[in-house]
């Protein structure tokens, strides 16, 4: 399994042709207490860096962008009733959607964990 990040603070864990997507610990911390997560529809086609869903917190509302193009095959329905899971476990239990990856070559447009950690230092 490999994990990649976007400059908008989404992550994707890649296993075979399935990418599990969420927001980074950094983003969850910046947003503060998360109150609502709008998940994509199963079967929806998403484009790399296109809108996947949205997230609301006590501080702000923001879009969630898909790190990769593909088709949504599963969503984390637990977030409908427990959006705080994103605060508690942003990079694990707080995942948002699984996408069947359309084009693995898009991974080159993403950052590794090390590159993302370096990027955070520049913010």
In a domain, 117, yes or no: no
pTM, entire model: 0.96
**Predicted local confidence at residue 105, as pLDDT:** 98
Range of the domain at 100: 2-104
> Per the structure, how many domains does the chain have?
1
CATH number at residue 28: 2.40.50.100
Q: What is the reported pLDDT for 21?
A: 98
* pLDDT the model gives residue 113: 97
Q: What share of the chain is helix, strand, coil (3-state, %, to 5)?
A: 25, 40, 35
Tell whether 112 is covered by a domain. Answer: no
Asked if residue 31 is part of any domain, the answer here is yes
Residue recorded with tokens 């490999």 = 2
In a domain, 122, yes or no: no
In a domain, 119, yes or no: no
Alpha helices in 32-108 (DSSP H): 78-81, 85-88
């Amino acid at each position: 399994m490999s994990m990649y990040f976007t400059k908008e603070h989404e992550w994707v864990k890649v296993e075979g042709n399935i990418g599990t997507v969420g927001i980074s610990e950094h983003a969850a911390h910046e947003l503060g207490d998360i109150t609502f997560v709008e998940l994509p529809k199963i079967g929806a086609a998403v484009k790399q860096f296109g809108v996947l869903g949205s997230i609301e917190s006590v501080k702000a509302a923001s879009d969630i962008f898909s790190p990769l193009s593909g088709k949504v095959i599963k969503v984390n329905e637990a977030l409908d009733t427990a959006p705080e899971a994103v605060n508690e476990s942003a990079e694990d239990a707080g995942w948002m959607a699984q996408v069947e990856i359309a084009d693995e070559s898009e991974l080159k447009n993403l950052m590794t964990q090390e590159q993302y950690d370096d990027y955070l230092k520049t913010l």
